[in-house]
Amino acid sequence: MTRSPRTQAGFGLVELLVALSVMSLVLIGVFSTFFRSQRVGQAMSTTANLRQGARAADQLLERELRMAGSGWGRIEVDYYLSTGTESTDSLYAINFGPGAGSCDSVSMMGGWTAATKLTSAMTYPWSNLVVDSTGGFSLGDLVVVTDGSTAHMFQVTGITLGSPLALAASTDSPLNPPSGTMLQNWPATGYGVGSPVYRVSWVTYAMDSTSFRKPALMRREFGGSPQLIAYDIAGFQVRYLMQDGSVTRTPSALSMVDEVVPVIWTRQSVPGRPAQIDSVWAEVRPRTF
């Protein structure tokens, strides 16, 4: 008697569909978790990069704020300003600049790069600065001469390397007065022998919301091109801690400022979550204050 082969058992269509559905749900869950973790990781990396950039910018700003006024402290620095009519303007170690919207700007001056002394009296503001060394000085540099109670700024238009050594401050620069033009607060007998002469660093920090795709904090030194210090910045504010303990963004006088507090804001947007607002800041007292 012939026996038929035993029928092999297998999966039915319904079982296959159920298995595929379960596998699909598992894969969806796995990939959702993966992509969610990837987005969170990218957001954390971006936040860390933003904060690192802001911190680096704040450290540079802090260093220059600490050196502001090197050579003359809080003394008003007067200089000639050619604006069609002869006039004199003034600057300080720290200058409270205008801002844009909720952001501020600040500029600072200091003689922390090169210094020399007068070897001959500078009787008038249109005289050359006869000095004991011209090392570290270049054409176009700003220089400040001071006697400890007054200070005046000029721009170098020529350098004499023979004897005597001298820094010329001719009318080739609109910052230098023509012969016969006195400047306000000029000492009665001019600046005497031994008066310090400093090469000036004059830098400004301000927000730029138009030149790049995202707002950036820019640094610019007098006569130079703007430098991008921090990118994708939400805001920049400078707060001033006054000697009476109050805090303001618009101080009335530098003489009442005790510390400067630069604040750089960052903002990170994460899909499905509120934007993360963070800030980097420092409290700085210039060494010469």
Please tell me the pTM assigned to this model.
Answer: 0.82
Average pLDDT over residues 222-237: 92
Average pLDDT over residues 175-183: 92
Pick the more confident residue, 26 or 178.
178
Residue 183 CB burial class (10 angstroms; 0-12, 13-18, ≥19): buried
Confidence of residue 11 (pLDDT cuts 50, 70, 90): low
pLDDT at 137: 97
200 contacts: CB under 8 Å, gap ≥ 6: 109, 110, 111, 141, 142, 143, 144, 153, 222
Is the pLDDT at 49 greater than 80? The verdict is no
pLDDT at 267: 80
Sequential DSSP letters for 108-176 = EEEEEEEEEEBSS-B-STTS-EEBS--TT--TT-EEEEE-SS-EEEEE--EEE-SSS-EEE--TTSTTS
SS (HEC) of 231-255: ECCCEEEEEEEECCCCEECCCCCHH
pLDDT at 173: 93
CA dist., res. 148 & res. 91, Å (int): 16
Calculate the average pLDDT of the chain: 88
Is the pLDDT at 111 greater than 70? The verdict is yes
Please answer whether residues 139 and 94 qualify as being in contact, where contact means their C-beta atoms are separated by less than 8 angstroms.
no
Query: Which residue in 76, 55, 73, 68 sits closest to 260, CA to CA?
Result: 68
Q: How far is CA 204 from CA 22, 77, 238, 249, in A?
A: 63, 17, 12, 16
CA dist., res. 203 & res. 72, Å (int): 16
Flag the least confident range among 13-17, 165-169, 272-276: 272-276
Confidence of residue 14 (pLDDT cuts 50, 70, 90): confident
pLDDT at 156: 98
pLDDT digits (tens, 9 = 90+) for 143-176: 999 999 999 999 999 999 988 999 999 999 999 9
Confidence of residue 25 (pLDDT cuts 50, 70, 90): confident
Distance of CA 6 to the CA centre of its chain: 87
Give the DSSP letter of residue 212.
S
Structure tokens at 272: 């499905």
Query: Which residue in 129, 109, 117 sits closest to 65, CA to CA?
Result: 109
Q: How far is CA 162 from CA 130, 166, 192, in A?
A: 11, 8, 21
Query: Which residue in 265, 268, 275 sits closest to 103, CA to CA?
Result: 265
Is the pLDDT at 91 greater than 60? The verdict is yes
Please answer whether residues 279 and 289 qualify as being in contact, where contact means their C-beta atoms are separated by less than 8 angstroms.
no
pLDDT digits (tens, 9 = 90+) for 186-210: 999 999 999 999 999 999 999 999 9
Average pLDDT over residues 242-265: 94
Secondary-structure breakdown of the chain: helix, strand, coil percentages, each rounded to the nearest 5? 20, 35, 45
Q: What are phi and psi of 72, to 5 degrees?
A: -145, 0
Pairing mode, strands 151-155 and 77-82: parallel
pLDDT at 237: 95
